Structure 1
Amino acid sequence: MIGEHVLAGYVPDAGGREALDLARGIVALTGGRLSVATVHPPDLPAAAGEARALLDQVADLLEGEPADLLVQEGRSVGRGLTVLASRIGADLIVVGSPEGGARGRIGVGAAADHLLHSATEAVMLAPSGHRSPDELGRITVMYVRRPQCDEAVIRSAQAAERLEVPLRLVTLAIGDVNPEPLRDDLALAIRLALDSADLLPEDVSAEVAEGDDVADALEDVDWPEGELLVCASSEDAAAHRVFLGEVALKVLRAAPCPVAVLPRGYY
């Protein structure tokens, strides 16, 4: 299960604080280890000093919670976080949304864009204005019948069992698509989830989200507080890397909750 070692990318704005808050929430659930990093450009001693000073802010925000505070050199924030995550053995990178975006929605800045198209670890994004609830309410998997999504169902079912939360599978029916074959696919995915973890049948549900476009379809299903959405990487992703396809990126931008994206072939 992801979250055994969480790396939060910190920048001195609301998005950085929200990423830190989400990372702390994940660690509280999993009992994992927390690392927090700031990234600075290479060959600039002054920038390195400023990055270290930012970590003083992080220490105050943590209020005594244990965490490794790290400074990383990188040509970009996304690249620096990927390199650092690999070096320290983190299995999840958490970043926030840029300031100025729609509240309650995820904005994809430069760092997130890099991570969503090349990270070797799972990536989680916090919506603008997000505050982690006291407990996780449910894990939802965005499902399409293909191997990468089946992997996401298996891992999410196992996480739901460990965290003692329900699991929901959602698939999109955009436009005039016949939803019946999609329901058949979801029935198979439910069986896969039940076979992969010790979950009760009543703890696994499935819905077809219908709408004229992705954002409209997501509004067709409920998103209560405490939801976490899991997406699989595209079939175009290299092995063990994140690569978010066009539809999944639209889902991420429209989702009203944190979204985790798993690398292809995640184990």
Structure 2
Amino acid sequence: MIGAHVIVGYTGDAGGRDALALGTAITQVTGGELTVATIYPPGSPGQAVEAQANLAHAAGELGERPAEYMAFESRGAGRGLAVLASRIKADLIVVGSADGGQHGRIAIGSTSDHLLHLSPEAVMLAPAGYRPPAEPTRLTLAYVHRPQCDEAVELVAQAALRLGVPLRLITLDLRTDDAGRLRDDLALAVRLAWEGTGIEAEAEIAEGYDVAAAIGAVEWPPGDLLVCASSEDAQAHRVFLGELAMKVLRASVCPVAVLPRGFN
């Protein structure tokens, strides 16, 4: 289960605070390590000092909560977080929404865009203004019948079992596919979850004329977490989201975790 070592990409803005709150909540549930990192560009002493100031602010936010604080030099924040995560053996990178996005939704900036197309570790994004509850209430996997998602079913089911929360599998029906086939595919995923873990997963088809409408047609109670598998186009052990999954991420009202290809 991801969360044994979480690295938070911290910036001194609302998105950074959202990421810090979410990353802290995850490690409180998993008992994992927490690293708070600020990335600054090379050859910029002033921004290096600002990075340290940001980390001091983060430490003030966390108080006595154990964490490691790191300022890391890199040409890009997304690249820096990916490299740092590999070096310290973190298994999850948490970032916030980019400035200017809609409250309660995820806006993709340059940092998250890089991570969603090249990260070697799982990536989680917090919607703007997100405040995590004390405990998770459910894991939801966005399911499409393909090998990456089939592998994710058992992984997410195992995580739900360990957390003691329900598992929901949702498939989008955008009125362009055979509805009967989508139901059959979803039934297969439910069976995969049962055979792998003994969990009786909920199954739901989200209907709409576009992704945002479909996502909005199903309930997302506080404490829900949406999980997506990477595209088949992803390199081995890398995150890569396709066009449809990116639309799902942008429409989500809860945090979204994206698993690298071949994640275990």
1:84 aligns with: 84
In structure 2, the partner of 1:160 is 160
Instruction: Please give the secondary structure, in 1, of the residue aligned with 2:117.
Output: coil
Aligned to 1:40: 40
Q: Which residue of 2 is the match for residue 235 of structure 1?
A: 232
**Equivalence for 2:3:** 3
Residue 198 of structure 1: how far off its partner (Å): 3.9
For residues 109-162 of structure 1, give each alpha carbon's deviation from its aligned partner in whole angstroms, at most 9, with x where no partner exists.
Answer: 110000000000000000001000111010000000111101211110000000
Q: TM-score, normalized by length of structure 2?
A: 0.98
Aligned length: 264
Q: Given the alignment, which residue of 248, 252, 255 partners 2:252?
A: 255
Residue range with higher mean Cα deviation, 43-52 or 157-166: 43-52
Question: Matched residues in 2 for 1:177 and 1:266: separation?
Answer: 29
Q: Structure 1 vs Structure 2: percent identity of aligned residues?
A: 60
* Alpha-carbon shift at residue 41 of structure 1 (Å): 0.3
SS at match of 1:117: helix
- The answer to which of 148-157 and 247-256 deviates more is 148-157
Distance 1:177 1:148 in 2: 20
Return the TM-score normalized by structure 1: 0.97
2: CA distance, partners of 1:21 / 1:152: 26
Over the aligned positions, Cα root-mean-square deviation in angstroms equals 0.9
What residue in structure 2 maps to residue 191 of structure 1? 191
Question: Which residue of the partner structure matches residue 210 of structure 1?
Answer: 207
User: CA deviation digits over 1:198-238, x for unaligned, max 9?
Assistant: 42x2xx11111111000011112111111000000000000
Quick check: 1:245 aligned with 2:233? Answer: no
Moved more, 91-100 or 173-182: 173-182
Structure 2 residue 150 is the aligned partner of structure 1 residue 150: yes
1:100, distance to aligned residue in structure 2 (A): 2.1
| Alignment-derived partner of residue 64 in structure 2 | 64
- The residue type equivalent to 2:131 in the other structure is R
> Could you list the runs of 5+ residues in structure 1 that have no partner in the other structure?
none
**Amino acid corresponding to residue 207 of structure 2 in structure 1:** E
Contact 1:138 1:168 (C-alpha < 8 Å) held by counterparts: yes
Tell me, in whole angstroms, the C-alpha distance in 2 between the residues paired with 1:222 and 1:150.
23
Amino acid of the structure 2 residue aligned with 1:154: E
The letter for the 1-side match of 2:253 is: P
- Whether the aligned pair in 2 keeps the contact of 1:96 and 1:128 (CA below 8 Å) is yes
**How many angstroms does 1:176 deviate by?**
4.0
Give me the whole-angstrom Cα distance separating, in 1, the residues matched to 2:156 and 2:262.
14
1:113 corresponds to: 113
Spell out, residue by residue over 1:146-196, the C-alpha distance to the aligned partner (whole angstroms, 9 max, x if none): 111012111100000000000000001112433111111111111111122
Equivalent residue for 2:141? Answer: 141
Q: Aligned letter for 2:149?
A: C
Q: Is the 8 A contact 1:179 1:208 kept in 2?
A: no
Q: Deviations over 1:57-111 (max 9, x none)?
A: 0110001100010011110100000010000000000000022211110010110
Alpha-carbon displacement from aligned partner over 1:9-41 (angstroms, at most 9, x marks no partner):
000001000000000111111111100000000
Give SS of 2:71's match: strand
Q: Which consecutive residues of structure 2, in runs of 5 or more, have no partner in the other structure?
A: none
Q: Is residue 209–residue 218 contact of structure 1 (8 Å, CA) maintained in 2?
A: yes
The change in CA–CA distance for 1:246 and 1:176 in structure 2 (over 3 A counts) is closer
Which consecutive aligned stretches of 4+ in structure 1 deviate over 6 angstroms post-superposition?
A: none
The aligned residue for residue 15 of structure 1 is: 15
Amino acid at match of 2:51: A
